[in-house]
Amino acid sequence: MSATNTIRLHRVLRAAPEKVYRAFLDADALSKWLPPHGYTCKVHHFDPKVGGGFRMSFTNFTTAKSHSFGGSYLELVPGERVRYSDKFDDPNLPGEMITTASLKKVSCGTELSIVQEGVPAVIPAEMCYLGWQDSLEQLIKLVEPDIPDA
């Protein structure tokens, strides 16, 4: 068994839990907010239901190097929780990670707590935190604007 890290994040977003939840289960939304700054994302397969799976890849825009990963949805509670497994295709990044995003309605929007367990120890925890911070900045930019239809 390889050593792993657990990453914990917390944010409050000015958006309804239902809108934040939707950002986790919409392929186009995920490809916009999930890859850290400097990466593009390609969604290869997406079936957002319990037992359904996903496959995607992130590409470093500077080096053009990609890494792909996929997993399955373990728990989906609309407006409250998204729990999924995923693992990298690269054998140098072994093991399965479990990510749980918990959403709670608060007076100004949504309290979001993310726990990612089983991150391969070869990936420095601080790099995971930096990547997630980028992703969450982009999630905020996606869900906070309330843009009416024209």
**pLDDT tens profile 73-131:** 999 999 999 999 999 999 989 899 999 999 999 999 999 999 999 999 999 999 999 99
* Residue 47 is assigned to a structural domain of this protein: no
- The contacts of residue 99 (CB under 8 Å, 6+ apart) are 82, 83, 84, 85, 86, 114, 115, 116, 117
Residue 92 located in a structural domain: yes
Q: Which domain holds residue 14?
A: 4-38+74-143
Question: Is 59 a member of any domain?
Answer: no
Model confidence band, residue 147 (pLDDT cutoffs 50, 70, 90): confident
Residue 43 lies in a domain: no
Please state the domain count of the chain. Answer: 1
Q: Is residue 45 part of a domain?
A: no
Q: How many CA atoms lie within 13 A of 20 on its CB side?
A: 29
Antiparallel, parallel or unpaired: β 109-120 and 4-13: antiparallel
Is pLDDT above 60 for 26?
yes
Q: What is the DSSP letter of 134?
A: H
Please give the pLDDT value at position 21: 98
In a domain, 117, yes or no: yes
- E strand intervals along 1-150: 4-13, 39-46, 53-60, 66-77, 81-88, 97-106, 109-120
CATH of the domain at 112: 3.30.530.20
